[in-house]
Amino acid sequence: MSAIVAIVGRPNVGKSTFFNRLIKRREAIVDAVSGVTRDRHYGKSDWNGREFSVIDTGGYVKGSDDVFEAEIDKQVELAIDEADVIIFMVDVETGITGMDEDVANLLRRVKKPVLLAVNKVDNNKRAEDAVEFYSLGLGDYFTIASTNGSGTGDLLDALVEVLPEKEPNRDEELPRFAVVGRPNAGKSSFINALIGEERYIVTDVAGTTRDSIDTKYNRFGFEFNLVDTAGIRRKSKVHEDLEFYSVMRSVRAIEHSDVCIIILDATRGFDGQVQNIFWLAQRNNKGIVILVNKWDLVEDKETNTIKQYTEKIKESMAPFIDVPIVFMSVLTKQRIFKAIETAVQVYENRSRKIQTRKFNDIMLPLIENYPPPAYKGKYVKIKFCTQLPTPYPQFAFFCNLPQYVRDPYKRFLENKLRESFDFSGVPISIFMRKK
């Protein structure tokens, strides 16, 4: 589980450039889907061996600056609620504006670490100009230029210093299943139906949920914590930017979970926001189950058969399509226990350990029949493979020229692995190592 860092500030101060610089350091190496950044506003980064998640709040506001003025307080408040550390970015070219002062007023009251980053400082004259930002009352500042990266090292050193300590190993704790999805998809109703009591207030106002709540739950002789991205929201909060809100909320819930139960509304489909949540879970190597709720409301079931609907979802998820999809209705309680049974199965798949000998006995003959294609006239020979001792499935294949094994061949190995062992609902990482 990594800490969450939010970048806040008014428009055009360079938040997104800084954000891109942070995540590319990592994303280029880590993202399983090469060359695909599905969500511009959320990413993983690391510095000096500490991993953290980064959220660019600016990416969520659409429209002009005056629209932003109304939104910025909400954005900052949400960042304050959800993030562990806040980077407040300002622009040395324009100096302090009224909007900067508003944000600073909010941040001065916060009990969390706030780092003030003065951007666009790319010469000595501008470094002198930055002194005025002391008057925001947030203490020392860091001068950076996010376009060329100067000064970002010092800022990140300070960031790593104030990140919360890593939580102790949770091995003894119960598995955690997070129930996530866009507002009003039926998350709270699903948990109410399972628990059999009105534990959560369910209304038709999208976004009445606020704090994530854990519920101990026992079914099929298996005990786990259900984490609802739920709770009750003050009415004044209901109008805030829901997309930003549910992504922030989902990041927190997903990072704390072992399996993500993603609920979507059958009448709306696997839309952009649900896809963002899906990629978030996939990028964090969590187990995933997709529940299509409100299936009873889908009219014209003839043209909209389960098979066609499933294929449509899988098209959007590619290349990671080995994910169970359960069609259900919370209202009629149809298949809600099937949903939990599937989540338990995915948890077990994620914890699966394969004996090295058995793994080699199955994979090496396959590799011999279909070796990696020659690259630049060089032949790759894979001699040995093993599962790595990590909380989720990662596999190392040892060979003479690891740098010549391309992504399509890794996908071939992953597909063969999935055919031989049940890793349904679980992202798999494959590494080529020098033998």
Q: What is the pLDDT of residues 297-307, one digit of tens each?
A: 887 766 668 88
**Which of the following CATH numbers is that of domain 356-434: 3.40.50.1970, 3.40.50.1100, 3.20.20.100, 3.30.300.20?**
3.30.300.20
Could you list the residues known to form a binding site, using ranges. Answer: 9-16, 56-60, 119-122, 181-188, 228-232, 293-296
Pairing of strands 85-91, 141-143: unpaired
Residue with tokens 């993983």: 44
The pair of structure tokens assigned to 432 is: 């080529």
The partner residues of 145 in beta bridges, in order of sequence, read: 150
Same fold, 176-351 and 356-434: no
**pLDDT tens for the chain, residues 1 to 435:** 578 898 888 878 888 888 888 877 543 333 333 233 334 467 778 888 888 888 877 644 444 455 555 566 666 777 777 788 999 999 999 999 888 898 898 899 888 999 999 999 988 888 888 999 999 999 999 999 988 888 999 999 999 999 887 655 444 477 889 888 877 788 878 887 877 655 444 444 444 444 455 677 776 677 788 777 643 233 334 344 455 555 666 677 788 789 999 999 998 889 877 887 888 889 889 999 999 998 888 877 666 688 889 999 999 998 889 999 999 988 888 888 898 889 999 999 999 999 999 999 999 999 999 999 988 888 999 999 999 998 899 999 999 999 989 889 999 999 999 999 999 999 999 999 987
CATH number of 176-351: 3.40.50.300
- Give the pTM: 0.68
> What pLDDT shows up at residue 291?
94
User: What does the H/E/C string look like for the chain?
Assistant: CCEEEEEECCCCCCHHHHHHHHHHHHHHHHCCCCCCCCCCCEEEEEECCEEEEEEEHHHHCCCCHHHHHHHHHHHHHHHHHHCCEEEEEEECCCCCCHHHHHHHHHHHCCCCCEEEEEECCCCHHHHHHHHHHHHHCCCCEEECECCCCECHHHHHHHHHHHCCCCCCCCCCCCCEEEEECCCCCCHHHHHHHHHCCCCCCCCCCCCCCCCCEEEEEEECCEEEEEEECCCCCCHHHCCCCHHHHHHHHHHHHHHCCCEEEEEEECCCCCCHHHHHHHHHHHHCCCEEEEEEECHHHCCCCCCCCHHHHHHHHHHHHCCCCCCCEEECECCCCECHHHHHHHHHHHHHHHCCCCCHHHHHHHHHHHHHHCCCCCECCECCCEEEEEECCCCCCEEEEEECCHHHCCHHHHHHHHHHHHHHCCCCCCCCEEEEEEC
The pair of structure tokens assigned to 30 is: 């880590």
Q: What is the pLDDT of residues 115-171, one digit of tens each?
A: 999 999 988 888 888 999 999 999 999 999 988 888 999 999 999 999 887 655 444
The pair of structure tokens assigned to 62 is: 């659409």
> What pLDDT shows up at residue 1?
57
Q: Which fold has domain 3-162?
A: Rossmann fold (3.40.50)
Per-domain residue ranges for the chain?
3-162, 176-351, 356-434
Q: What is the pLDDT of residues 397-415, one digit of tens each?
A: 999 999 989 889 999 999 9
The pair of structure tokens assigned to 258 is: 């072992």
Q: What residues contact 39, with CB distance under 8 A and at least 6 apart?
A: 247, 276, 279, 280
Give the chain's end-to-end CA distance (angstroms, integer).
31
Greatest Cα pair distance, the chain, in angstroms, is 70
Could you list the residues known to form a binding site for GTP, using ranges. Answer: 9-16, 56-60, 119-122, 181-188, 228-232, 293-296
> What pLDDT shows up at residue 214?
65
